[in-house]
Amino acid sequence: PICPFLLVSQTQDWIGVADGKLAIALGDFNNDNHLDIIVTERDNNKMNIFLGNGDGSFPKNPTTSITCSSLPYSIAVGDFNNDSWLDIAVANHNHNNIGFFFGYDNGTFTIEKIYSTGASRPLALSVHDFNDDEQLDIAVANDGTNNIGVLLGYGNGTFANQLTFSTGFDSRPHAIVVADFNSDNRLDIAVANAGTNNIGVFLGNGNGTFSNQTTYPAGSNPVSLAVGDFNKDGRMDIVVSNSNGHNVRILLGNDNGVFTSQAIYATGFGSYPSSVAVRDFNKDDRLDIIVAHSGNNKLSFFVGHGDGTFEKQRLYSIAIGVSQMIVADDLNNDTWTDIVIAVDNASNIAVFLGGPDKNFTNLTTYSTGGSAYTMSVAVGDFNNDARLDIVEANYRRDDIGVFLGDGDGNFAMKIEYSTGSGSQPCFVTAGDFNNDTRLDIVVANYGTNNIGIFFGKGDGNFFNQTVYSTGSGSKPYSVAIGDFNNDTRQDIVVANYGTNSVGIFLGKGNGTFSNQTTYTIDGYPIFVTVGDLNKDDRLDIVIVNDYDDNVRIWFGNDDGTFSMKITCRTGLGSRPYSVAVGDFNGDTQLDIVVANYGTNNLGVFLGNDDGTFLNQTTYPTDRGPWSVVVGDLNNDTYLDLIVANNGDNNIGVLLGYGDGTFLIQTTYSTGWDSQPHGVAIGDFNNDNRLDVTVALYYYFSIGIFLGYYKSPFTVPVVYSSGLIPTPLALAVADFDNDNQSDIIAANNDGNVAIYLNTANGSFPSSTLYSTGYFTALSSVAVGDFNNDSQFDVVVANHDSDNIVFFLGLGNGSFGSAMSYTTGFKSGPCSVAVGDFNSDNRLDFVNVNNRDSTIALFLHYGFGAFMNKEIYSTASDKPSRSVGFGDFNRDTIVDIVVPNPSNSTITVLLGNGKGAFLNPTIYSTGFGSVPIAVAVGDFNNDTRLDIVAATKNGFNIGIFLGNIDGTFQKPIPYTDKDVFDVTGLDVGDFNNDARLDIVITSFSGYCIWVYFGNGDGIFLTSIKHSTGYYSWPWGVVVSDFNNDARLDIAVANKWNYSVGIFLGSGDGSFSNQSTYSTGENSLPIGLTFGDFNNDNRMDIVVANYNSENIGVFLNNGDGTFMEQATYMTGKQSGPYWVAVGDFNKDAQLDIAVVLSLSDNLAIYFGDGNGTFNHRTIFGTGPTTYPWVYADSLNP
């Protein structure tokens, strides 16, 4: 029989190397008949050899390390000098040569011998005999000269000069494979041309020369190739991985070396497939394909049918890092193919052993067949082995599929049973209908207007279907089972969508049923379930009506009939699709949960003991909640909710408190465009933890999520900023000197709110400080403005055109507000702090988005500021961001500002006296509308660079800095799935000493993280959801849980919250935890600082609509207290915030841009997490200020 292929990680300790850019190859280097591994460390110019033990294990550290000349991009092995010992060839990209290392029989090698390839910049190698002289030759893909080169070997370790064959202008060949494509017994070459998006084929003449290239379309950015006979016709075929196309393409070969494009198989958006390997992994005598993803921690496995087609991908997760290159062979001599993966950003290699009995974790998919459109799943033990199995309904294939489980969470290949031509099965469930103690299956056949019964044999097999009509045009959509007439025999209820009815089939206990009894429903019944809702020991029916926006309950009598119904409204436009029941609040009464597809939420109806229900309480989901089930996922004895979010391709888990309420959902991806439909739960691996299976409609698969320890989920803690106020910006600092980070939020009601951090991981109620204006605060910052060693607060009041200060008292409280006007209709939107004149006093800079200026406030001591200096941004429209740094290395602070109206950025070089030189303008592209900037050294040349985010042009553009403070043309990065960027920040998220970038996408409801290579280039980006309709705005980066790993905080404008993503240090992040900024608060800008001197980073946010700032004090573990708010004034519009010590009291203060009142407000910190007073500075009429701070006049 054909065995399933499964993988297990063999490396208990990951095999470690010092650098993440890896290439990999296999060979027996010490002649012990065991395969060894060789892997490059590109940036360290060396290769490491791990000698194998023969059982699939390897030493944790390399056995041998070899130094190369420069940037080894590719390696190949062979016996080049015919001494029976394997040698190594390496492509040294930067030195334009191929290096050879000749092996001894003990796994060591000679020093490098070099053959020049000119100015070619070699990328890939392949070793074969191209001229039939029985000596190994080398083919190389030359990226720099757009050709392939052939070096003919003499058999003594020397080679002839390179012969080159053009791959075309700007082709940039990236990968090379060798095979006989035209069946003439002469080796040919295929190359992946990444620059021209094609595959080039060179037919060999048998003498080391080749014909001119013939090209075939490949896809977007082809980077890897493999060959094999996929359709068993005796001709070699090609598979190519297209990195930017997120897919692989199959080209089937003919006898004459010509290829036909066969099919494209998606690897999932963001996968960026980087390497592909071909083997028969499951021992069915058909070649399969495995693909490494450089964009995430997944592998794609495509099972071959033997006819040139493949199943939809199965995904395997890598426990750490992102796969860069993959090779396959039998490492442990068990006749099963194993794989070795270069894990790029984790600086490791990983070994996965293949076989029929190996296990894996995270989402695993099992194909249900091409174009199956899997609608529903159910679980049961179909072969009586005490292990749960799965059955699914395939709408398009007119069948059901049974997957038998092995008890470890793995499943055998599907067994199919036809439901009849045109039956379109929609729903499936299991029960024992003939009392033989063997589970049977019932399916709703939507297309043929019947239900089908498959009687089980008890060994995992089933008899052919027996059908019962549900009536002409009935279109049955859902079924449920129960004993409706108390005769101990299972009956069936079916939701007949087409005839607006519910049908009852009473079971006779021998596998037969009475004719259907129907009950007319005022609506379109789409889902049905059962339960005793009024505690009369009789089963009742719960029916979901799609377009009528309600749930109907029919109460059961003792004889299988039903009477008296009640209706529970699910809300206008809710379109409920699924329903489940359970006791959510521990009162022994059944409650109801409904998946409201139209309004993207779950509705919970708590039951009374008389069969009535309380009004619906809703919990937001992602888009398109299709199916919902109930179970205790974390073993806390409280029921939780699991929902399949069809529109956002994930499942959501809402953990129950046991009192009828639930946490905000945590989501788990089911894969791009998978469209999950049905969901079911069971313990698939016998670990006493519930697992989840989901029907993946467009993957034609089922997916399995294995449950982990009883607290596997990140639990968000939510803190309100008040009944009405909306936080628009926030920052963090230790305001009460308890060595814990607190939080300050700028609200839209003119107040700032202070949230003091407690030692038990919670925040008490917030403390509000009024700015004296009832306007929305736009920005908040923290610093010690009066040099009293206490954190102070400054907030920007956009609508009131001022900036307000609160001086911190050091005990978590603050003094009265001090206001500085930013000018009539200036609109201060962002505030930042710093010592701009090098006098050891914190100053302010704010951006005014109404009059397109920058206002500078120089601090002259005691928390007071001189009148502002105004600098034009050379734009006639507002800008809402500012960045600063020393661009020309003169130790004086400089400024960069985006100009949305004329699609430029402005750079102002400081003169050291608190003033700036004339602006220099740099274009971001016509009509691009830049909206945010940040500063960092992205290419590690010790010169500051600029990253700009635009609305209509590139997502981000990198301006590399020159030594004189000028900048190069931008390097653009554009992705069609990234849009409406609102904020950005920089940090090293994967600890590779290279700066990365995070941006917010407000209409995408997410953040994107771009990972830097350290040379100014960014290759991969990863998306993290901030929640449906969250509209993330401001974003900042800091270490919020003191683990030396950078985390991300984001202001979610329309979810009225601050979201925290805790970093793992490898570029991955936890799911978002959210902290409320108050209903209708509209948080915009945020920043951080230690407001209470506990060495923990607190957060302050500007809450535009609440007209306040909110301060969230940090508990030290990445959680925060409830926000404390400080009012910024009526019609102030706090927009952005900055932090600094403005009065030299050694406490952080906060500067907030008041965008509507054209003012800058400073909130002076007390050092204990509170702020005692504020000062308002005017920025001028219609200035729309934005703010940042540093010292400008040394």
882 and 983 housed in the same domain = yes
Answer whether residue 295 is part of any domain: no
Q: Provide mean pLDDT across the span 108-128.
A: 85
Could you report the per-residue pLDDT of 337-393, keeping only the tens digit for each? Answer: 878 776 654 345 666 777 664 432 334 444 444 445 677 888 899 999 988 888 988
Task: Give the position of tokens 């600086």.
Answer: 347
pLDDT above 70 (res 849): no
pLDDT at 1187: 57
pLDDT above 70 covers a percentage of the chain that reads 81
User: What's the structural domain count of the chain?
Assistant: 2
- Residues 18, 347 contacting (CB under 8 angstroms): yes
Which of 674, 705, 736 is the C-terminal boundary of a domain? Answer: 705
Mean of all residue pLDDT scores within the chain: 81
User: In 706-785, at which residue ranges do the beta strands (DSSP E only) sit?
Assistant: 727-733, 742-747, 751-755, 767-770, 779-785
Which of 292, 332, 294 shows the shortest CA–CA distance to 316?
292
Beta-bridged to residue 502, according to DSSP, are 495, 519
**CATH number of the CATH domain containing 1151:** 2.120.10.30
pLDDT at 724: 41
Q: Indicate the pairing of strand 137-142 with strand 147-151.
A: antiparallel
Could you give the C-alpha distances from 147 to 94, 152, 247, 264, in angstroms and in order?
16, 16, 25, 27
pLDDT at 235: 93
Range scoring the smallest mean pLDDT among 38-52, 474-488, 952-966: 38-52
700 and 746 housed in the same domain = no
1002 and 1106 housed in the same domain = yes
Could you give the C-alpha distances from 818 to 83, 793, 815, 1127, in angstroms and in order?
84, 10, 9, 12
655 and 740 housed in the same domain = no
- Residues 1008, 999 contacting (CB under 8 angstroms): yes
1188/1160 Cα distance (integer angstroms): 11
Confidence of residue 710 (pLDDT cuts 50, 70, 90): very low
Answer whether residue 88 is part of any domain: no
pLDDT at 394: 85
681 and 753 housed in the same domain = no
pLDDT above 80 (res 731): no
Top pLDDT among 779 and 206 is at 206
Q: Which two tokens stand for residue 529?
A: 């379930």
Answer whether residue 112 is part of any domain: no
750 and 646 housed in the same domain = no
1147-1171 in b/e form (b: 16+ CB < 10 A) is bbbbbbbbbbbbbbbbbbbbbbbbb
970/977 Cα distance (integer angstroms): 21
Answer whether residue 95 is part of any domain: no
- Residues 49, 59 contacting (CB under 8 angstroms): no
Top pLDDT among 209 and 255 is at 209
Domain residue limits at 401:
365-705
Q: Provide mean pLDDT across the span 941-967.
A: 87
867 and 950 housed in the same domain = yes
Answer whether residue 408 is part of any domain: yes
pLDDT at 709: 39
- Residues 577, 597 contacting (CB under 8 angstroms): yes
Top pLDDT among 731 and 249 is at 249
Answer whether residue 610 is part of any domain: yes
Answer whether residue 254 is part of any domain: no
350 CB-side CA count, 13 A? 28
pLDDT above 70 (res 774): no
pLDDT at 715: 27
pLDDT at 1087: 92
pTM of the model: 0.38
pLDDT at 868: 52
Confidence of residue 62 (pLDDT cuts 50, 70, 90): confident
Range scoring the smallest mean pLDDT among 20-24, 1133-1137, 1180-1184: 1180-1184
414 and 511 housed in the same domain = yes
693 and 733 housed in the same domain = no
pLDDT above 90 covers a percentage of the chain that reads 30
595/161 Cα distance (integer angstroms): 69
792 and 843 housed in the same domain = yes
460 and 524 housed in the same domain = yes
Range scoring the smallest mean pLDDT among 183-197, 455-469, 895-909, 1109-1123: 895-909
Confidence of residue 70 (pLDDT cuts 50, 70, 90): low
Could you report the per-residue pLDDT of 122-153, keeping only the tens digit for each? Answer: 889 999 999 999 999 999 999 889 999 999 99
Could you report the per-residue pLDDT of 278-323, keeping only the tens digit for each? Answer: 999 888 899 999 998 888 778 888 999 999 999 888 877 664 556 6
pLDDT above 60 (res 856): yes
Range scoring the smallest mean pLDDT among 821-830, 860-869, 1080-1089, 1101-1110: 860-869
Could you give the C-alpha distances from 835 to 58, 352, 600, 894, in angstroms and in order?
54, 54, 48, 12
Q: Which two tokens stand for residue 141?
A: 């893909």
Residue 976 neighbours by CB under 8 Å, 6+ apart: none
DSSP assigned state of 359: -
Could you report the per-residue pLDDT of 626-647, keeping only the tens digit for each? Answer: 889 999 988 888 999 999 998 8
Residue 396 neighbours by CB under 8 Å, 6+ apart: 371, 372, 373, 424
Q: Provide mean pLDDT across the span 945-959.
A: 85
1161/818 Cα distance (integer angstroms): 7
Phi, psi of 1012 (to 5 degrees): -85, 150
Q: Provide mean pLDDT across the span 891-911.
A: 83
688 and 746 housed in the same domain = no
44/17 Cα distance (integer angstroms): 10
Could you report the per-residue pLDDT of 505-537, keeping only the tens digit for each? Answer: 999 999 999 999 999 887 789 889 999 988 888
DSSP assigned state of 421: T
Answer whether residue 292 is part of any domain: no
pLDDT above 70 (res 402): yes
DSSP assigned state of 204: B
pLDDT at 360: 27
Q: Provide mean pLDDT across the span 931-949.
A: 90
**CATH number of the CATH domain containing 681:** 2.130.10.130
The total of other beta-carbon atoms located within 10 Å of residue 212's CB is: 9
- Highest mean pLDDT, choosing among 260-274, 586-600, 840-854: 586-600
